[in-house]
Structures are given as structure tokens and as C-alpha cells.
Amino acid sequence: MVVTGLSNREFLEQYALPGRIGLSGGITLIDKAICRAERHLDMEEKWGSWSHVFLFQGQRFDGHHWVIESDLQIHRKHIQFGVQENRVSKYYDEKLYTTLAVLDFSLTEKQVAGVLCEALELAANRARYSLRELFGTLIALKRPELRSQSNVLSRESSMYCSAFVQYLFRKAGLDLAPGVDAKNTTPEDIARTGIPHVKYVLERPVPISKVYKLKTVAVAKRIKERMAEIRNPKSERTPKS
């Protein structure tokens, strides 16, 4: 289901509910690198749309919606590196998070409780974000026969974002990417899952760059001049005797 006319904040306030999965795409180099690597999942090698995935935890007493995710965040004098809880408001920045989606698998209350409890357990045990395993997944994307096998750079007590979400849902009895090892799962795999669900995608017009606009104007002007030349050809000069 495509949703238009909403800001990131309005979209998340409307569709973020406990146990649902969030997807995001962004503009950073790592976002672009992940989307580019996901082209190996597409027959036409189109880049993926999603570079990060997270779990909605729900609204707390502070009135804010919260998410649980495995992520790398760098703040002033503070680094969060692994499974962590954050306010969903971090995704309100439309310049940083240019695309968003929410997946609703209609989990039962028991399943939601199980997924969230397992996620909180990993957060409490400080499971780390694994750049090493992320590189292992990139290797597997280039060599599909490795996708079903253990991540070649796997390590204990660590997982990146989509591996984290895949692990949680497999524990709940839902395999989002059958035949793919949890630690080789990408955000695009989760976005393309075959498990019945409702997918809400926030779609907004893609801004046209100033350079593109200038080039378009220049080309249009040249075409107009050329058409005028064709309609009104200059008279040929009479050769001098």
C-alpha cells in the first residue's frame, strides 16, 4: 500500500505499532553501499531500496514511540554500537531518511510479546553491531551459493540490523527469508518476504537537482533553436562570379 502526502513523522505515528517491522533508505555512503550491493538480488541488477531495518516496540509512558534495532550511532562523546532502544523520532529527519516502509504481519499478542522480549534480552546483553558480518554478507551476495551457509565472517554475540530482525522472527516461527542464513539476510530480503503481510510504503516526489534542471533547460533551448532553423532555413548565398 503506497502512502503519499505525509511527513515521516505523520507516517510513523499512523503505522508504527508494536511488533511491526520498519524499513528505511537514506543518503549516507553506507546506505548507498548497501543498496548497491543488494543489486545482486535482482535479475536486472537494480539497486535495492532499503538499507536499514528495525522493530517497533510501541509507545511508552513518555508519550514517544520506541524502536529496537541493531545500529551504529555516533553522538558527541558517545557511541552506540549494537542492539539498542531509540525513539522513533530519529526517523523524522526526511533529509537523512528519504524512504520509509512498515511491514505488518498481523502477529498475535503472544508473538509480539515473544519478539519484543527476545529483542530486549539482546539489548540487555549488549549484542554488538557487526560490520565484520556485514562484509561477510556482501561476499555471499556475490556468491549466491554461500547465502544458505553460515556467514563466512560470523562472530558470537553480534549481528547487524536485518540479521537481528530475521533472528527475532525466526524465533517467533516466521522465516522472513527461507533458505538464507540469518546472518546473510539483507534489508531487501525482508522487504521482499513471501510471508503474507501488509506493506505500507511512504512515497514522496523525488526532488530534481539544480544541475539537472539547468541541463534540461539548456537542451530544450537548443531543440527550440534547431526547430526554428528547420522551419526558417537561411537563404543560401549566391556565389560570386
The model's pLDDT over 77-93, given as tens digits with 9 standing for 90+, comes to 667 789 999 999 999 99
CA nearest to 100, candidates 109, 108, 88, 112? 88
Distance CA 170, CA 125 (A): 19
CATH number, domain of 202, equals: 3.90.1720.10
- The answer to whether residue 238 sits within a structural domain is no
- The answer to whether residue 64 sits within a structural domain is yes
Question: If you average pLDDT over residues 45-50, what whole number do you get?
Answer: 96
- The answer to whether residue 225 sits within a structural domain is no
Number of domain units in the chain? 1
Query: For residue 12, what are the domain limits?
Result: 2-208
Tell me: pLDDT of 240 over 70: no
> pLDDT tens-digit profile of 104-134?
999 999 999 999 999 999 999 999 998 899 9
Tell me: pLDDT of 239 over 70: no
- pLDDT (0 to 100) of residue 72: 84
- The answer to whether residue 166 sits within a structural domain is yes
- The answer to whether residue 155 sits within a structural domain is yes
> pLDDT tens-digit profile of 175-212?
999 999 999 999 999 999 999 999 999 987 755 544 44
- The answer to whether residue 153 sits within a structural domain is yes
pTM of the model: 0.83
27 pLDDT band (50/70/90 cuts)?
Answer: very high
- The answer to whether residue 20 sits within a structural domain is yes
- The answer to whether residue 199 sits within a structural domain is yes
Angle at 92 between CA 26 and CA 29, to 5 degrees: 20
What distance lies between CA 198 and its chain's CA centroid? 17
Tell me: pLDDT of 154 over 80: yes
Sheet holding 198-202, edge to edge: 2-3, 198-202, 97-104, 21-26, 52-59, 65-75, 78-87
